[in-house]
Structure 1
Amino acid sequence: MLSSSKSTRQLYPFISLQNPILSILEAATCNSLSKIKQSHALLITSALSLHPFPPSKLLQLLLSLPSSPPLLSYADLIFHRSPSPPLFSYNSLIKAHSDPFSFLLFRSLLRDPSAPPPNQYTITFLLASCRPGSGLEIGEAEQVRAHAIHLGFESCLFVSNVLIQMYGSWGAVGEAEKVFGECSLKDLFTWNLMIGVYVGGGDVESASRVFDEMPDRDVVSWSTMIAGYVQTGWFLEAMQLFQKMQLAGVRPNEFTLATILAACANIVALDQGRWIHAFMIRTRIKLNDRLLASLIDMYSKCGEVRFAFSLFDKAGSLKHTVRPWNTMLTGLAIHGFSSQAIELFERMKEEDDVVPDRVTFVSLLTACSHGRFVERGKLYFDMMKNSYNIEPGLEHYGCMVDILGRSGRLREAEEIISSMPMLPDTAAWGALLGACRIHNDTERGERIGKLIGEHVGCHVLLANAYSGQGRWNDAEAVRKKIEKSGGRKIPGCSSIEVDGIFHQFLVGDRSHPQTEFIYSFLNAMSVKLKVAGYVPDFGEALVDVDDEDKETALSRHSEKLAIAFGLLNTTPGTLIRVVKNLRVCLDCHCATKFISKVYGREIVVRDRIRFHHFRDGSCSCGDYW
């Protein structure tokens, strides 16, 4: 039997690639679906569709249009009715599909004796399609890799790179590492891919080792490494690396700047954040919705929410996506500006181009929680499903538990947990348990404590609730249970930035070079606060000792050490910003209000839940947090 290409040449000897009809197959002329269909019809009526080249060219033009399923179906039709499709057509369709159908094409290519053999691009496109969510499995990629070795492409740079990328997408870090180590050729893309694989797997130390070994680096290398530090919480290291990037003369891109602004936001590095903002203006980096959101997030989380709002208000067309609105809503919510957050949401609803999403409602419900807007919270929770067809998730149910629990409606909060269509997480149980402690409902707290399993944070809340009730034996029993399970309570840690340098303090910390001065200052401060009317809240003491020892223990909480350091090392009138990793305790909250009045300082404390702005003896939260 004659091959299809030979049959075509015998049956249609008059077909010539110089045929003037082929001039219609130019990208400038054939640049829309309707024109492609017209050209296809002309090829059929002129019998040019029976020659391998014209359908291949038509397929190329079709796949260059904006992709959609109907176009891909049309491309498949052209391909399957083409006589002896060239390898270019196979490769183009394999690349376009990136799903199980690409494997069917590959198998037909291997089985057709008249078809050309696969090349390195065939293997590359096929491996690129083997990613999670594509309907393909990593085992199928292993089969393709075996074919690549058989065909002699094992040492091909393109194939090696796509293998590293593919293994990384599946989390197979060891396999990616093996391919990287066996590469006889490596380009900059190879090194960047391996850094990305380590960062994706959370192994920042290995990523850093590869970064240090690189013969050359580009903006992707630096940005990926900075992102790795940020996602693992190594914010200071991220900022130090960004400074080295500047010294190396590498211009940051949008991704770099958004990432480093996130680092500034997390450690309240306002001075560095302002410098980056000024750098963006000075170097005329074009602001987009992502960078705007990053700036709003940085200023909000560094305590400058009013400046963040002024940026948002002046943003104009950059507010035509939901991202900046969500970030601004979050900023207002965590600062306790609940009414302003609700007003902003109502403005957002009037925008034609902006549609609220899941994140929008998390921020909105958080604002309702901090503002004690219970009925508003219920309204917005129902609005998610009824108006926007958004199914509430764990985070939304957790917000509702928090809204009801904070306001003292503990029975309703517990009913929310019972009615959830999914298993409650520790955040929901923790919100309810924390509310039980605030409202002294120890009986309900005990019952919940038996339901929450071995989660350390929730058991710590229960132990603290017992301590607050003076039930020291019960508190000690819970702590022993935590120790027996191998869990550990996260120690309180507070940080403060002074003159661009960050200082961290743990509870009872004595490692700082200024420890003696800090503790001496704390003793003097304690006297001044008592004269002003401060009374220590011994309910926050976690062990059964005499009152003097309890008072000493309370005075050594990490935020008090950080505030004392700030008062010692800044000029009078300077605003003090402190970040704490846990929720601020009742005693520290009360003490900080007195400190702000006695020393005439504005103190901003960001804890795990929200911001507290202390000024002249009062707090912005209204003692509701």
Structure 2
Amino acid sequence: MVDSVLSFHGRWKSPRVMKHRLVQNQGSKSRGCAQSVNYLEAVDLFVRLHREGLELNSFVFTSILKLLVSVESGEFCRSVHACLYKLGHRSNAFVGTSIIDAYSACGLVDDAREAFDEIIWKDMVSWTGMVTCYAENGVFKEALELFSDMRMGGFWPNNFTLASVFKASLGLEAINLGRSVHGCALKMRYELDPYVGAALLDLYTKLGDMEDAKLVFEEIPKCDVIPWSFMIARYSQHQRSKEAVELFCRMRQSLVLPNHFTFASVLQACGTMADLDLGKQIHCNVLKVGLDSNVFVSNALIDVYSKCGKMENSVDLFEESTNRNEVTWNTLIVGHAQLGHEEKALKLFLQMREDNVQGTEVTYSSVLCACAGLAALKLGTEIHSLTIKTRFDKAITVGNALIDIYAKCGSIKDARVVFEMMSNRDVVSWNTMISGYSMHGLSSEALRIFEYLQKTMIKADKLTFLGVLSACSNTGLLDKGQAYFTSMVHDYCINPCIEHYTCMVALLGRSGHLDRAVRLIEEMPFEPSIMIWRALLTTCIIHNNVELGKMAALHVLELEPHDEATYALLANMYAAARRWDDVASVRNSMKKKGIKKEPGLSWIESQGTVHYFVVGDASHPDIRLIYGMLEWLNMKTKKAGYVPNYEVLLQDVEDDEKPRRLWVHSERLALAFGLIRTPFGSPIRILKNLRICLDCHAAIKCISTVVQREIVIRDVNRFHHFQNGTCSCGDYW
């Protein structure tokens, strides 16, 4: 490059030849790596022309300025501008517009405006150049003000002006202004122009006015693929998947060949609808046109199969892909996490890091959700450290996932720390914090967070009130729960969904108002769901109302004849009432239908490994130490005043067998293991798939005093924090 410049210096050229060489350089500015060579040669030529006093006309200046647009050299642009000012070319609209374009490419908006103001006789092109400069650089208000000045000056906009004004309207989310300018475009017959049409589609679709976008789309020429792809993409992004698919079919009928962007968008629609058959058909179409290797299409195919529950197909496509990016990895990780394959999601994340693929906020939020599902707190904290190193901890989605994992792993204080450190929060942040406190039985904190939310600009939604009502239900705050339910409807204009009614049925029933719970079910505007009847059944068991509980169970089994949880609850209810014949009848019915009761399962994490226990487990490598610890705990708790509650035994067993049956419940086995293998003084965190029984609850309260440790157990309903002989639930669960 240097040699070519020096060799040119060694030969004298006439002004005409030098100008010709300059124009050639400007004309070839887009030819790959030659761009930088041409730029330097052009600068060298320009300097020599100026120093040798040769004639510099408008054509020379515009040539060099057009080249500056591609290389974005603000410093040299100012030098050329100063030269123009000195030579008196500043008032030329042709040259002035080139200066505006060059400054705009460098992001120097104020300099561009100065150049615009220097033009004495402004024409349509110079006005358009300045309006476009403002719009392209995000100075939207000034773009619209200048457009207004232009119209007052008697200038009619062209297609490029209108496209820039639509972009500015979009930037300010001024859809009504955009509509008025659309009217101007119609008067000038620019509605069929591709630039205007694309800008209008962008304006309407991004601001959510899909109906006006549809009208624009139907009017513009559709002989090429761009408008079709654009509308299909926007329909998919606005959750109007059926319309996206219908438009894709119209496109194919019009004999327009889809491109990779089209396929990726329509596949997104298939994934949203979980339409596996349609996804397979489009997959075949992709193979026919040879776009299956395109990374965008490949990612969309992986997403379709994962959203349709066919992870084996997604994994096959992933393995076959030769052109992966971070989205490819994220799509598979998200798919595994959403389908409950948490361990596979985490394994894939580790593989992604080994392959030196940089994670994104989607990656980290997904793997944190997987950690929350496994209650893998140690791994979650390690990933938290990674997010801090990569600065993704500042992303709202990652912050929300961090709140969620700490809350679900029993560390609600850490969840609150993350919440307080977030510089920006959305409604999900507030909802996650409220539901976290609700899960931990800390209703006063949950409701206090809701009060803080009401003082912000963020509006509470259905999930907010679900967390609030759950908090009231978990602690028996009947009056507050009813007040919030009423406020949701009247003050926030939110129609209650089945989950809200479920909370209210549980709240009324748990508070002993079973008749009011039944009345609420009868008054609901839709048919009761399994959740509603199961909530009623659970409260009937608590209050020993066998007949009403039997009625609730029958309603559940009408809707889901093979629901093993309901059979188990029904059997438990009969067992608590000592109706052993009915217990036997329920179990015989389960046996005939091939229904098996879900066994009690508890698990605990130690040194990055999750250990699982079932009732009466004898398979763990440390089982002798575990049973030794249980014997010691049994002796110590009896001395501390613990009295076994044999009524929780749901089988008719001999009296001498009852004590042993109680002490081999899965949560006690997990607790004994935790006392053996976790550092002294550290909290013990246990997860359980069923509701903790009354006797285990009483025993663990006593154990927390004996061992002077905080014991956190998350059962199927909520968290229990045992410390110094008490539980955070206040014995209300």
- Taking structure 2 as the reference length, the TM-score comes to 0.73
Please tell me whether the aligned partners of residues 496 and 577 of structure 1 are also in contact (alpha carbons under 8 angstroms).
yes
Please tell me whether the aligned partners of residues 429 and 458 of structure 1 are also in contact (alpha carbons under 8 angstroms).
no
Q: Structure 1 residue 347 and structure 2 residue 452: aligned? A: yes
How has the CA–CA distance of structure 1 residues 211 and 553 changed in structure 2, closer, same or farther, with 3 Å as cutoff?
A: farther
Q: Structure 1 residue 133 and structure 2 residue 240: aligned? A: yes
Q: Taking CA–CA contacts closer than 8 Å with sequence separation of 6 or more, which of the two structures ends up with the larger relative contact order? A: 1
Question: Aligned to 1:422, what secondary structure does the other structure show?
Answer: coil
Alignment match, 1:4:
none
Decide which of 101, 110, 121 is 2:226's aligned counterpart.
Answer: 121
Question: Aligned to 1:388, what secondary structure does the other structure show?
Answer: coil
Decide which of 378, 382, 399 is 1:292's aligned counterpart.
Answer: 399
The amino acid that maps onto 2:430 is: W
The amino acid that maps onto 1:396 is: H
Alpha-carbon shift at residue 197 of structure 1 (Å)? 1.6
Bigger drift between 510-519 and 160-169 goes to 510-519
Q: Return the alpha-carbon distance in structure 2 between the equivalents of residues 330 and 105 of structure 1.
A: 44
Q: Return the alpha-carbon distance in structure 2 between the equivalents of residues 40 and 166 of structure 1.
A: 42
Question: Aligned to 1:579, what secondary structure does the other structure show?
Answer: strand
Q: Return the alpha-carbon distance in structure 1 between the equivalents of residues 319 and 621 of structure 2.
A: 32
Alignment match, 1:190:
297
Q: Is the helix fraction higher in 1 or 2?
A: 2
Q: Return the alpha-carbon distance in structure 1 between the equivalents of residues 145 and 665 of structure 2.
A: 72
Please tell me whether the aligned partners of residues 454 and 485 of structure 1 are also in contact (alpha carbons under 8 angstroms).
no
How has the CA–CA distance of structure 1 residues 495 and 179 changed in structure 2, closer, same or farther, with 3 Å as cutoff?
A: farther
Alignment match, 2:283:
177
Alignment match, 1:21:
124
Alignment match, 1:596:
704
Question: Aligned to 1:495, what secondary structure does the other structure show?
Answer: strand
Alignment match, 1:328:
433
How has the CA–CA distance of structure 1 residues 421 and 279 changed in structure 2, closer, same or farther, with 3 Å as cutoff?
A: same
Structure 1 residues 386-535: aligned runs within 5 Å: 386-452=490-556, 453-455=558-560, 456=563, 457-484=565-592, 487-515=595-623, 517-519=625-627, 522=630, 525-526=633-634, 529-530=637-638, 532-535=640-643
Q: Return the alpha-carbon distance in structure 2 between the equivalents of residues 459 and 225 of structure 1.
A: 37
For these two proteins, the number of residue pairs brought into alignment is 589
The amino acid that maps onto 1:178 is: C
Structure 1 residues 34-73: aligned runs within 5 Å: 35-36=146-147, 39=150, 54-55=158-159, 57-63=161-167, 65-66=169-170, 67=173, 69-71=175-177, 73=179
Decide which of 661, 671, 688 is 1:580's aligned counterpart.
Answer: 688
Alpha-carbon shift at residue 38 of structure 1 (Å)? 5.5
Alpha-carbon shift at residue 488 of structure 1 (Å)? 4.5
Decide which of 315, 327, 332 is 1:208's aligned counterpart.
Answer: 315
Please tell me whether the aligned partners of residues 160 and 183 of structure 1 are also in contact (alpha carbons under 8 angstroms).
no
Alpha-carbon shift at residue 610 of structure 1 (Å)? 1.0
How has the CA–CA distance of structure 1 residues 481 and 80 changed in structure 2, closer, same or farther, with 3 Å as cutoff?
A: farther
Q: Return the alpha-carbon distance in structure 1 between the equivalents of residues 618 and 336 of structure 2.
A: 28
Bigger drift between 333-342 and 67-76 goes to 67-76
Alpha-carbon shift at residue 281 of structure 1 (Å)? 2.6
Q: Return the alpha-carbon distance in structure 2 between the equivalents of residues 287 and 589 of structure 1.
A: 39
The amino acid that maps onto 2:297 is: T
How has the CA–CA distance of structure 1 residues 252 and 129 changed in structure 2, closer, same or farther, with 3 Å as cutoff?
A: closer
Q: Return the alpha-carbon distance in structure 2 between the equivalents of residues 63 and 571 of structure 1.
A: 61
Q: Return the alpha-carbon distance in structure 1 between the equivalents of residues 174 and 308 of structure 2.
A: 32
Q: What stretches of structure 1 of length at least 5 have no aligned partner?
A: 1-15, 110-114
Alpha-carbon shift at residue 606 of structure 1 (Å)? 0.7
Q: Cα deviation per residue 1:448-493 (whole Å; 9 max; x = unaligned)?
A: 2333324423332222110111112212323344455555543332
Please tell me whether the aligned partners of residues 469 and 539 of structure 1 are also in contact (alpha carbons under 8 angstroms).
no
The amino acid that maps onto 1:346 is: E
Question: Aligned to 1:252, what secondary structure does the other structure show?
Answer: coil
Alignment match, 2:485:
381
Q: Structure 1 residue 248 and structure 2 residue 355: aligned? A: yes
Structure 1 residues 249-328: aligned runs within 5 Å: 249-285=356-392, 287-315=394-422, 317-319=423-425, 321-328=426-433
Q: Cα deviation per residue 1:292-324 (whole Å; 9 max; x = unaligned)?
A: 332222222222212322343444x435x4333
Q: What stretches of structure 2 of length at least 5 have no aligned partner?
A: 1-93, 98-121
The amino acid that maps onto 2:698 is: C
Q: Cα deviation per residue 1:190-240 (whole Å; 9 max; x = unaligned)?
A: 222122222322333322222222224322222222222221112222222
Q: Return the alpha-carbon distance in structure 1 between the equivalents of residues 646 and 531 of structure 2.
A: 27
Bigger drift between 185-194 and 491-500 goes to 185-194
How has the CA–CA distance of structure 1 residues 451 and 255 changed in structure 2, closer, same or farther, with 3 Å as cutoff?
A: same
The amino acid that maps onto 1:190 is: V
The amino acid that maps onto 2:228 is: I
Question: Aligned to 1:567, what secondary structure does the other structure show?
Answer: helix
Decide which of 537, 551, 560 is 2:645's aligned counterpart.
Answer: 537
Please tell me whether the aligned partners of residues 144 and 168 of structure 2 are also in contact (alpha carbons under 8 angstroms).
no
Please tell me whether the aligned partners of residues 163 and 195 of structure 2 are also in contact (alpha carbons under 8 angstroms).
no
Alignment match, 2:324:
217
Q: Structure 1 residue 199 and structure 2 residue 302: aligned? A: no
Q: Return the alpha-carbon distance in structure 1 between the equivalents of residues 669 and 252 of structure 2.
A: 58
The amino acid that maps onto 2:548 is: R
Alpha-carbon shift at residue 497 of structure 1 (Å)? 0.5
Alpha-carbon shift at residue 282 of structure 1 (Å)? 3.0
Q: Return the alpha-carbon distance in structure 1 between the equivalents of residues 299 and 447 of structure 2.
A: 44
Q: Return the alpha-carbon distance in structure 2 between the equivalents of residues 603 and 25 of structure 1.
A: 70
Q: Cα deviation per residue 1:242-294 (whole Å; 9 max; x = unaligned)?
A: 22222222232222222222222222222222222222333333514433332
Please tell me whether the aligned partners of residues 496 and 578 of structure 1 are also in contact (alpha carbons under 8 angstroms).
yes
Q: Return the alpha-carbon distance in structure 2 between the equivalents of residues 56 and 314 of structure 1.
A: 45
The amino acid that maps onto 1:124 is: S
Quick one: percent identity of the two aligned structures? Answer: 35
Alignment match, 2:270:
167
How has the CA–CA distance of structure 1 residues 396 and 345 changed in structure 2, closer, same or farther, with 3 Å as cutoff?
A: same
Q: Return the alpha-carbon distance in structure 2 between the equivalents of residues 313 and 369 of structure 1.
A: 26
Question: Aligned to 2:604, what secondary structure does the other structure show?
Answer: strand
Q: Cα deviation per residue 1:362-406 (whole Å; 9 max; x = unaligned)?
A: 222222222222212122222212322222222222112222222
Question: Aligned to 2:394, what secondary structure does the other structure show?
Answer: coil
Q: Return the alpha-carbon distance in structure 1 between the equivalents of residues 447 and 274 of structure 2.
A: 41
Please tell me whether the aligned partners of residues 614 and 620 of structure 1 are also in contact (alpha carbons under 8 angstroms).
yes
Q: Which has the larger radius of gyration?
A: 2
How has the CA–CA distance of structure 1 residues 426 and 539 changed in structure 2, closer, same or farther, with 3 Å as cutoff?
A: farther
Bigger drift between 253-262 and 606-615 goes to 253-262
